[in-house]
């Protein structure tokens, strides 16, 4: 059976993993409050979608 000949160093392992990073989610700016929001989602900053109020936002 095929077996690894040498143990891979931490450096090699980590270099392989440089491509494993996650990308941050795509966001757009809310036309109402300019906060970043997810596309096709109600803005959680001001509770609007397409200029209409959909949700009441609770102040924390």
Partner 1 sequence: MRHQKAGRKLGRTSSHRKAMFRNMLTSLFEHEKIETTDAKAKELRKIAEKIVTLGKKGDLHSRRQVLRVISDKKIAKNLFDQIAPRYQSRNGGYTRIFKVGRRHGDNAPLSLIELIPEENVQKPKKRASGQQKKIAAASTAPK
**Size of residue set near partner 1 by CB under 8 A:** 8
What count of other Cβ atoms lies within 10 Å of the Cβ of residue 15? 11
What is the Cα 11 distance to its own chain's centre?
Answer: 27
Contacts with Zn ion, 1-40, as mask; x by CB under 5 A: -----------------------------x-xx-------
Pick from 12, 16, 27, 38 the residue near partner 1 by CB under 8 A.
38
Would you put residue 34 in left (φ > 0), alpha (ψ -120 to 50) or beta?
left
Q: Which residues bind partner 1 (CB under 8 A)?
A: 38, 40-42, 44, 49, 54-55
């Amino acid at each position: 059976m095929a077996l690894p000949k040498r143990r891979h160093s931490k450096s090699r392992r980590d270099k392989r993993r440089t491509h494993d990073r996650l990308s941050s989610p795509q966001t757009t700016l809310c036309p109402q409050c300019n906060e970043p929001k997810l596309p096709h989602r109600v803005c959680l900053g001001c509770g609007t979608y397409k200029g209409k109020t959909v949700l009441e936002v609770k102040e924390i």
